[in-house]
Amino acid sequence: TPIVAALEPFPRTLVHGDVRAANVAVRDQARNGESAVFFDWGRAAFAAPTADLGFFLGFTALERPTGVDRAIHAYEAGLRERLGGRWPTSWERQRELGLLAGMLQSGLACRAFWGVHVLAVEDERAAAIEREALQGWEPRLRAAVGLL
């Protein structure tokens, strides 16, 4: 697919493939701080790590529409800490393509581009919340499509 080809030059790692609240638990370890435990590895794959971020954000976009930029910032801050001074020069491209891949997997892109509701929207209030959440993603997804 075009997204797989566009992500080919970038590093890949083991990704969960279905990162959402139902598949993650946080353990509080008194001495070592918090740690995450992931369940249901049935969709695991070797892919761009940003695809998991995109899937998570796409899956939770309607629940937390204002937290998307904060989540991306937190992800990047953690990555910067782990990589030290070895920040990839092509990070923005990799991030946007990975987000697009995850968004497509989560179904958010279908709702943003074509108004297809993956989840049933039962009332006008819920539909309005969905439209508002998707408005912020549409330009970003369209720009990422332009990178293909």
Q: Which residue has the higher pLDDT, 138 or 108?
A: 138
Query: Would you give the distance in Å from CA 34 to the centre of its chain?
Result: 22
Average pLDDT over residues 52-77: 76
**Mean of pLDDT values over 92-121:** 70
Opening angle at CA 37, ends 39 and 25, nearest 5: 85
**Strand, coil or helix: 37:** strand
The label of the residue with tokens 């919340």 reads 129
Is 42's pLDDT higher than 80? yes
Q: Count Cα neighbours of 44 within 13 Å in the Cβ-side half-sphere.
A: 9
Q: What's the pLDDT score for residue 24?
A: 84
Residue 86 has pLDDT above 60, yes or no: yes
Q: Report the predicted TM-score, pTM, of the whole model to 2 decimal places.
A: 0.71
